[in-house]
A and B are shown apart, each in its own frame.
Chain A
Amino acid sequence: MIITLCAVLVFGVSQGKRWFTPLAQPQAYKLNPPKYFGDMVYDISSNPLTAEGIALGRALFYDPILSLDSTISCATCHSSYTAFSHVDHALSHGIGDTLGTRNALPIQNVGWHKTFRWDGGLTHLDAQVMAPLHNATEMASNLPLVFKRLRHSDYYPALFEAAFGDTSISTRRFIDALVQFQLILISNNAKYDSVRRGEAKFTAQEKKGFKLFKRNCASCHEPPLFMNNDFTSNNLPVDSSLMDLGRYRVTQRPQDSLLFKTPSLRNIEYTYPYMHDGRFNTIYEVLDHYDANVMALSDEEQTEIYAFLLTLSDYSYIRNPDFAFPH
C-alpha cells in the first residue's frame, strides 16, 4: 500500500499535477538595525518575524475595532506621520473623547526598550500591547470582545492563517502580530545616523550643539538611541489636576516620586507637545525649563542644541509607506 501511495505521488509530480495544496510558509522577515544600536532587548527568537505576521500586526494596529465602540485604533494616538506620537495633544484621548493623564509616547526602536509607559509599569513589549486596549481612558475594550469581532470579520481569519498556519485566534498570536509590526518600526535614518555612518557631516552649529548636548543632556538621553532605559526627575512640579507621581505609582517607593521614564529624543521635532503631561509645546520651552533648573545656557547655545536636536529627525521614518495605514 505504501509503495502504491509513493507511486501515485511520484506519478502526480511527474505529470505536473498537484495532488494536495501545500501549506504556504510565512516568509521570514529580517531586521537590519545599525550595529551601533547594540543588542535588542526584545528576544526576537521568541517571536520570529514574518512578512505575514507583520502584515497582520499592521492591520490590527490601524483597526478601530480594537476599541470598545470601534472608534479609535492604536494609530489614533500613534500616528506614523509624527513618529507614532499624538502630536498637538497634551494628553491622549480615548473613546468618547475621554481624556487620559499622560502624553502618548512615540513608538520607535521599541525593541531596545526595557520598560514601557512613563512609569515603566510594563517591563515587556508583549505586555505593552494589552495596556491601551484595556485602559478605560483609551480603548476601554477587552480581549474576548476583540477576538469575537476578529473571528467574525471577513478577512482576519485569513490573515491569522497566513501568519500562523491556521485561523485560530488567540492572545498569544494577537500579541505576537502586534509586536512584530512594532518591532519593524526602527528609526535609524536621521542626519545623526548619516553622520555616524560617515555619509554626511554636521554643520558647525550642529557640531557645537552636539558638544553641548553631550555635556548637558546625554547622561539621560544617551546616543545613539537618545534614552537610557531609566527613570529621572524632570524637575517639573506636579500638575495638581493630574496628580501624576510617575514611577511612584508602580513602586510606591518615596524615592521614585515624580520620576518618569527618559523618553528618546529621536524625532523630537515631530513629537510635540513634550514631557509626560505635554505641558510644553515647543522644544525651546523644554530647553528654557532645563536652562532654569539644571543647565545654564546662553540663547546662542540653546539654538545650537536645538540645531543638533533637529538632526535626530528621520523623515524617511515618518513617511515610510510600509509603516502607514494599510490600503
Chain B
Amino acid sequence: MRLVFFLILISASLTAQNLHLKVNAHEVEMEVFMLYIGEVSKYGDITYELYDLSAQSSLDLPYTSSMVLGVDSTSQVISSFEGIFDPLQGMYWTWQNGYIAVKMEGKYLGEEFVYHLGGFREPFVCYHIIELAEHSLLTIDLDAFFESLPSDISRHIMSPGSEAKTVFDTFVSNVLLD
C-alpha cells in the first residue's frame, strides 16, 4: 500500500539544530518524495541524508555552510550499498550505476507525474551545491517548480538525460533560501 500525501502549503518541516527544510505545495498529491541531501564539511567531506517525506521525523540537519542536492559522482560509482545507499531504499538505478537524486511521484492538477531525476555523467549531471551563507531555512517550493516546468516536458522521466537535467535544474531553482 502506498501512502498518499496531500500537501497544502507547508507540509513538512524538518526540525534541526540550525537548518530547517520545508516543502511547499498546492494541488499536489505527492505519493513519493525522496531526495539525497548532503552536508559538506569544511574539509570537503559530504555526509549524506536521505530525505523521505513519509519518514520525515528521521531526518536531522546540522548547520553547515554548504549543502548538496544529489550524490557526487564518486559515491555514485563506488557505493557501500549500505544504510541510505542500500538499493532497498528504492533510489538506485539497477540498469546503470547511480542513485536518483530526487524522486517524485504523484499528481499535479490531476495529472500523474513520475520524476526520477539523477545522473552523474556530463553533460546531464544532476547534482547541485547550495551555499547556505547565513541562511537557515531551506524551502523546496513545489508549487513554483511545477508552474515553471516547460509545458512540453514529459510527466514521466525515469532515466538520466537531457529531460531529467531540465527538470532537475527547474527543481533546484525552486529551492529557496531564507
Contacts and interface: CB of A to CB of B under 8 A. Distances in A.
A171 B88 contact: yes
A127 B96 CA distance: 8
Contact of B78 (A117, A124, A144): A124
Contacts of B94: 127, 130-131, 133-135
A260 to B, nearest CB: 15
A123 interface: yes
A251 B96 CA distance: 11
Interface majority SS (helix, strand, loop, mixed), chain A: helix
Contacts of B48: none
Interface residues of B, number: 19
Contacts, number: 50
Interface residues of A, number: 21
Given A143-B87, A252-B124, A172 B82 contact: yes
A250 B98 CA distance: 12
A135 B79 CA distance: 20
Given A250-B121, A252-B124, A172 B97 contact: no
A37 B31 CA distance: 50
B96 A121 contact: yes
A250 B94 CA distance: 13
Given A171-B82, A172-B81, A144 B97 contact: no
Nearest to B80: A172
Contacts of A122: 95-97
Contacts of A135: 94-95
B97 A124 contact: yes
A71 to B, nearest CB: 20
Contacts of B97: 121-124, 127
A27 interface: no
Contact of B161 (A126, A144, A252): A252
A126 B86 CA distance: 12
B121 A130 contact: no
Contacts of B77: 123-124
B6 interface: no
Contacts of B79: 124, 126-127
B81 A171 contact: yes
A117 B81 CA distance: 20
Contacts of B162: 252
Contacts of B108: none
